[in-house]
A and B are shown apart, each in its own frame.
Chain A
Amino acid sequence: MMVPDLAEGRRPYRATQPAAAEVNAKLSVQNLDAWYGATHVVKKVSMAIPARQITAVIGPSGCGKSTFVRCLNRMHECIPGARMDGRVLLDGVDIYAGDIDPVLVRRRVGMVFQKPNPFPMMSIRDNVLAGLTLTGVRPRGGEADALVERALRGAALWDEVKDSLGKRGVSLSGGQQQRLCIARALAVEPEVLLMDEPCSALDPIATTRIEDLMHSLRETYTIVIVTHNMQQAARVSQKTAFFYTGDLIEFSDTDTIFTSPRNKRTEDYITGKFG
């Protein structure tokens, strides 16, 4: 997947005025590098992710976009041989500082994965509560019921499952399972929600529901969504970042990226010349 050298746009895009851009930033990424073993997959990326907006991360396969978001809640380090360098500030606090517990970071920055992964031995209700029970919190009966309902309503799944909360999570359809995973993430009450290609395993109808859901979640959460699908990025996001071979090529308002990209490679990718 090599692209001919283009005289123009060789230099990766950098946030031009970091100070100004970071005023409203929920997450501020500074000079982030990430490796798997010897492979350098994310290269000196700096960007400011605004609060209560949806930021889409697009780019061809293997461009480092998934790795990038996995660095935002310290999931990257769960993989053997994975390494990173740089700073990621959550509300101004470096989540990679020595005294920060990655487990607590992940409670503030939730994540939804490509393939729905409800816990197979748990009921729908237990799946929603998993974030609490797994961390040793035992919510009381009434509290738990309220939380389950709130999370499932938040994930637009309540009406479909309210009569079968005791059924196993894996008995649901793929799209419902993914919304269950979103509900599970919401139940922990995070501030940021990372979504790594949440619709790639879903059919178009389920995809539409998740996208609608994202619109309503946007009011409460800061969302970063990795997507292969440029139409999806255009539909759901306010900001779009284009990654290519580990470099952040361009990061700007979604409208700008899709109508008048500054970089030739962004334009080529969006117009389908490669990818």
Chain B
Amino acid sequence: MGGETTGRGRLDVADMRRRVGAHARERVIELLLTACGVVSIVTTVAILGVLVFETASFFAEVSLAEFLLDTRWTPLFVDKHFGIWPLVAGTVLTSAIAIGVALPFGLLAAIYLSEFATPRARSLLKPALEVLAGVPTIVYGYFALVVLTPLLQRFIPDLAGFNALSPGIIMGIMIMPMICSLSEDAIFAVPESMREGAYALGAGKLQTVFRVVLPTAFSGIAASVILAISRAVGETMIVAIAAGQQPNLTANPRESVETMTTYMVQIGLGDTPTGTIEYKTLFVVGASLFVMTFAINLLSQRLSRRFREGR
């Protein structure tokens, strides 16, 4: 193409020389792109830095042993205790309920959409699922508090007004579209030759889907579930509104619990003065949350790498 400018159909030596302006422009664009990349690294490092710094100053006042061994979390009371487990229990409990709801429904919906649904059913269901993913979490939170909890109380009389069950279920509904769409991608990515191979051996549709397609898509499905778990662990608004603010070391979904994120909202909204131990708990809980989601993401990477190697 460049040769056409000479009008002679043949490249001149002068044409081969790099044009000065073009070179400078490329450099600028390159620098801009690099800067964009660096921003994300700088942000991450800065966040980590603040977390580590404040966490360190927390542990200057409270021993790690107390943090890990005490079973009470009462930094705002006169009798202060700094055991992280009640908050972890609240987070794990609500997240587990959420995954318990989202995994079966999300995965089965994904299987239905990719393997069984007619194009028409698909075109109706996919947008509906996406709407579900687009509902603001505050709406979900109040839905859990004022609709689902009273409804559940009719069947479970001793269900507390603030409880782990109701926000857990609602969180499950919130993350279901995520599991569904990521799993559907993974199922869709299974080559048609796998299905044909199974059919040619005399396998039926169900056997093909459950014995060949799903195992082949396993890494993608596992990654979607793990991503959904870290989304549930980090979810704030729904649990802050409907699960209560009582740090409670329990596995009973009927009781009120406080998650790590809820605690952070509580401190963030309160009038805790900067530099106090209460203020520092904000960062130590944040750091714990970070460690949890980071570990989950690492696990997800390990899993998907292991299964990719198997291919």
Chain A interfacial positions (CB closer than 8 Å to B): 73, 75, 78, 103-104, 106-107, 110-111, 113, 115, 117-122, 130-131, 133-136, 168, 170, 181, 184-185, 188
Contacts and interface: CB of A to CB of B under 8 A. Distances in A.
Contacts of B208: 134
A275 to B, nearest CB: 26
Contact of A119 (B194, B199, B200, B202): B194
Contacts of B203: 103, 131, 134-135
Greatest chain A CB density within 10 A among B201, B211, B212 is at B201
Q: Residue among B193, B195, B203, B212 with the most chain A CB within 10 A?
A: B203
A78 B196 contact: yes
A271 B22 CA distance: 55
Q: What 6 pairs across the A-B complex have the smallest Cβ distances?
A: A107-B202, A131-B201, A134-B203, A111-B200, A117-B193, A121-B215
A119 B216 CA distance: 8
Given A110-B201, A117-B191, A168-B310, 12 more contacts: A75-B196, A75-B199, A106-B200, A110-B200, A113-B197, A113-B200, A117-B197, A118-B197, A119-B198, A119-B212, A121-B218, A135-B202
Interface of B: 191, 193-204, 207-208, 211-212, 215-216, 218, 310-311
Contacts of A130: 198, 201, 212
A188 B202 CA distance: 9
A171 B20 CA distance: 52
A94 B199 CA distance: 20
6 contacts: A106-B201, A110-B200, A118-B197, A119-B194, A119-B212, A122-B215
A133 B196 CA distance: 16
A119 B197 contact: yes
Contacts of A119: 194, 197-198, 212, 215-216
Contacts of B195: 78
Given A106-B201, A135-B202, A115 B193 contact: yes
A107 B198 CA distance: 11
Contact of A106 (B191, B202, B311): B202
Contacts of B212: 119, 130, 134
A170 B204 CA distance: 23
A104 B211 CA distance: 18
A177 to B, nearest CB: 11
A165 to B, nearest CB: 16
Contacts of B200: 73, 75, 106, 110-111, 113, 185
Contacts of A118: 197
Contact of B311 (A75, A120, A136): A120
A133 B201 CA distance: 10
Contact of B211 (A78, A134, A185): A134
Q: Which of B202, B208, B218 has the most CB atoms of chain A within a 10 A radius of its CB?
A: B202
A104 B208 CA distance: 15
A7 to B, nearest CB: 41
Nearest to A116: B193
Contacts of B198: 119, 130, 134
B211 A120 contact: no
A120 B214 CA distance: 11
A180 to B, nearest CB: 11
A110 B200 CA distance: 6
A134 B193 contact: no
B197 to A, nearest CB: 4
Nearest to B201: A131
B249 to A, nearest CB: 40
Given A120-B311, A134-B211, A113 B196 contact: yes
Contacts of A184: 197, 201
Contacts of B211: 133-134
A75 B208 CA distance: 14
B202 A104 contact: yes
A121 B197 contact: no
A188 B216 contact: no
B182 to A, nearest CB: 19
Contact of A113 (B193, B216, B218): B193
Given A75-B196, A121-B310, A168-B310, A103 B204 contact: yes
A176 to B, nearest CB: 16
Given A117-B194, A119-B212, A133-B211, A188 B201 contact: yes
Contacts of A73: 200
A111 B203 CA distance: 13
